[in-house]
Amino acid sequence: NPVRGVKMPPDSPKRTRRLNQYEKTLLLSQAKFESSREVYLAILIATETGMRQSEILRLIEDVFDFENRMILVKETKNGEDRTIPISEHLASELGSFFNGTNSGFMLTRSGLQQAFRRLTRKLNIENLRFHDLRHEALSHFFELGLSVPEVQLISGHKTVDQLMRYSHARVSEIRDKLDHANEQRHA
């Protein structure tokens, strides 16, 4: 067997970069007022839904259910469509963007990446990639108390192992939960 001695390369190192609240607020506010509407929306969608960049850029008007605040994500990485709930704020922002004049995003993948890099450089937010926004959103879902199956439904991960690569709990959040649980127990 000619490949018997060949070993598979190890997985790439797991990124654990998360936004702090200041960075998130700064990034969204500056994107809203200094970037194109599409760049702002892409960042907002990523931070609120955990959608992949490619899924965001393929969004078209007919995948939104504004009344029920849901997005139908088609052509996903795993090949299965999924439905993602969205906040009232995101529904409002998307509704004003897809108000008949826009049928979808005109941004390209490289255009979004370049705009995102320029924005983070300008704001002195170091070591942040657009894909880290997906990590942030999925980790935040767990912090909100969503279960593994609920987050898996939103993220589209087929296995829990895949999903856990995206979960990066903040130790301070865990500490606060433990403090709260201890207060309840001793009350």
| Gap between the Cα atoms of 143 and 123, Å rounded | 26
Active site (annotated) includes residue 4: no
Chain position carrying tokens 């995102």: 116
Active site (annotated) includes residue 185: no
Catalytic residue among 40, 135, 140, 157: 157
Catalytic residue among 32, 69, 131, 165: 131
Count CB neighbours of 133 within 10 A: 29
| Gap between the Cα atoms of 34 and 67, Å rounded | 30
Catalytic residue among 77, 89, 122, 158: 77
Active site (annotated) includes residue 82: no
Structure tokens at 75: 């052509």
Nearest by Cα to 51 from 162, 155, 175 = 155
Catalytic residue among 52, 135, 140, 168: 52
Catalytic residue among 134, 135, 140, 168: 134
What does the chain come to in residues? 187
Active site (annotated) includes residue 40: no
- Any idea which residues carry the catalytic annotation? 52, 77, 131, 134, 157, 166
